[in-house]
Amino acid sequence: MNAKLIENAKIFVKSVFEGESSGHDFQHTERVYKTAMKLAAEEGADLDIVALASLLHDVDDRKVSPETYDGKLKANAFLKEQGVDDKDIEKIVIAIKEAEFLGKDSVKPSTIEGMCVQDADRIDALGAIGIARAFAYGGAHSRKMYDRNVKPKLNMTAEQYKANTDGTTINHFYEKLLGLESLMNTKSGKKEARRRTEYMKEFLNEFELETDEADY
């Protein structure tokens, strides 16, 4: 693995997300990278492709950079500037594109590298860190924490999911997060997702208990 290239990628991503506080920050990228590399080693995936795809997976995210989202322009530009082979760039970009959650239109990655990146990204949306990120994102986008009169929108298509800007943070758990465990690709990813999902369910049970017409 090209250590200098990986370090340059980290520096680039850190610059992209400087000041970001919605949960899609550099710390998120670091966690996804570490998890993806662990999964890649266990699955026998190409470590270089997984490393770069996981580090760059959010630089063109539609929520933080909609103008570069379709063509993954930032990721492409960085990789070309670093002299990465065109065939490898194509593999990396495919892994990034296929990792995205798009409601019931989400795809199963076509490569084991993509599977590792997708699992790692989704694992970071679960457990204690997933809970924290959900509320950070909701706060950054002025979403209500919860509203008992607003019901979750289940089984959304990609377009419906992208357009769902008026939902509550608690509904997001039911609309997306609790369903991620069933979408995991790797054995280790499934195991970790199950553990974190159980923690989330405990949190939601407690949240419901504390907000169900609480009488103080």
**What digits encode the pLDDT tens for the residues 3-62?**
999 999 999 999 999 988 777 899 999 999 999 999 999 999 999 999 999 999 999 998
Q: How confident is the model at residue 216 (pLDDT cuts 50, 70, 90)?
A: very low
Residue 161 has a pLDDT of 82
Q: Whole-angstrom Cα distance, residue 72 to residue 52?
A: 13
Are 1 and 48 in contact by the 8 Å Cβ rule? The answer is yes
* Its pTM surpasses 0.95: no
More confident residue, 158 or 115: 115
Sequence letter at residue 192: E
Q: What is the CATH number that goes with domain 3-211?
A: 1.10.3210.50
pLDDT digits (tens, 9 = 90+) for 142-160: 999 999 899 999 988 878 8
| pLDDT band with cut points at 50, 70 and 90 for residue 162 | confident
Q: What percent of the chain has pLDDT over 70?
A: 98
DSSP notation for 35-88 = HHHHHHHHHT--HHHHHHHHHHTTTT-TTT-TTTTTTTHHHHHHHHHTT--HHH
User: What is the band of 121 on the pLDDT scale with cuts at 50, 70, 90?
Assistant: very high
Where along the chain do its domains lie? 3-211
Work out the pLDDT band at 215, boundaries 50, 70, 90.
low
The b/e string for 94-133 (b: 16+ C-beta within 10 A; e otherwise) is: bbbbbbbbebeebeebebbbbbbbbbbbbbbbbbebbbeb
